[in-house]
Amino acid sequence: MELPLVFDRYRAEIDAELRSALAKHQSPMYDMVRYHLGWIDEKGYPRQNSVGKALRPTLCLLACEATGGDWHKALPAAAAIELVHNFSLVQDDIQDNDPERHHRPTVWSIWGKPQAINAGTAMHVLASLTLLHLRERGISVEKQRRAQYLLNESCLRMMEGQYLDISYESRLDIGVSDYLDMIDKKTAALIGCSLETGALLGNDDESIIRAFRNLGRDMGIAFQIRDDILGIWGGKKETGKLLAGDIQRRKKSLPIVYALEKAEGEMRGELVKVYQDQVVDPEGVATVLRILEAVEAQLYAQGVAEEYRDRALAEIERIVHLPWARDSLEELAHFVVKRKF
């Protein structure tokens, strides 16, 4: 499966903006950041390609263009959002004990958790510093302040979602609405922020800015549900992640939450029994997979993701009038629920 073409439109300049955010920092601490971003290997040798799709900065710049703005002016915001996203990945890997991401060892698994915490925080601070450069691109003081406020608020939501995600691990009483509340914070808030910030920097119409945030929230929820599906049925080859790792860690992802609601009698008993232990063993994983199949949890989850995609498509049709931008956003909405990585 190919990436939609719109990712190519901004990639080089997003990359340049990110590199300039790191350019003047020499302490070896920043090599952990450069490693995470895929610019160097663990020994410090340059690598050819960055890792990651850069979905969030692409959405930000596309929203800026779609609302009539000059996307170059929004580059500091796009880079800041990508840095916030990546700092959250470094922390997430620490919290989840994940040894690999994108087929590479995670930062903590090379440098240890204490240093990885420093690298994550440094990336977070670099995001704030990068956002301050909006002024030099001719963005008004008021809009720059608002962009800072938006990014900070989204970051708080993201932490609240991460808090819920972890606290759900040891619970079995999580329903679909608890789940949706959690991913709205953990994932959709920052994707919503990407589109809202792009629209804010592209135009002055408050109703349009709000509509882009809602569009981002819907796309974000669809994105996370697809992530949940890949977290259980995605092969390691595609995602670079542990096969069925989400089951082992007792993550209350949508297929599991659905099975907990749906499974009855003996089947429910089996599910509950597997989740009694702190870590689910391979036999337990097999049991869970069998129950997920019996209740058709993948079909259900994919259906919910597509509902949110359809809401996104309707919103795009309503608010985006530039034909190529509309096509690109539609393609992205389809991409988030079809992607295999």
138 lies in the site for its own copies, by CB under 8 A: no
Residues 90-109 vs its own copies: string with x where CB under 8 A?
-x--xxx-------------
Among 152, 214, 248, 298, binds its own copies (CB under 8 A): 152
40 lies in the site for its own copies, by CB under 8 A: no
Among 149, 205, 236, 238, binds its own copies (CB under 8 A): 149
Distances from the Cα of 283 to the Cα of 186, 234, 247, 270, 290, angstroms: 30, 19, 11, 12, 11
132 lies in the site for its own copies, by CB under 8 A: yes
Among 1, 28, 207, 264, binds its own copies (CB under 8 A): 28
**Structure-block tokens of residue 340:** 């295999």
Secondary structure class of 101 (helix, strand, coil): strand
Residue among 3 and 117 whose Cβ is closer to its own copies: 117
Among 20, 50, 148, 298, binds its own copies (CB under 8 A): 148
Interhelix angle for 55-66 vs 206-233, to 10°?
Answer: 150
23 lies in the site for its own copies, by CB under 8 A: no
125 lies in the site for its own copies, by CB under 8 A: yes
SS3 content of the chain, % helix, strand, coil (to 5): 75, 0, 25
Distances from the Cα of 172 to the Cα of 145, 157, 260, 271, angstroms: 41, 23, 7, 10
| Alpha helical stretches, state H, 170-281 | 176-183, 189-202, 206-233, 236-239, 245-248, 254-262, 265-274
190 lies in the site for its own copies, by CB under 8 A: no
248 lies in the site for its own copies, by CB under 8 A: no
114 lies in the site for its own copies, by CB under 8 A: yes
Across-strand partners of 263? none
Residue among 113 and 262 whose Cβ is closer to its own copies: 113
> How far, in Å, CA of 38 to CA of 198, rounded?
25
Applying CB under 8 A, the residues found at the interface with its own copies are: 25, 27-29, 91, 94-96, 113-115, 117-118, 121-122, 124-126, 128-129, 132, 135, 141, 145, 148-149, 152-153, 155-156, 159-160, 162-164, 166-167
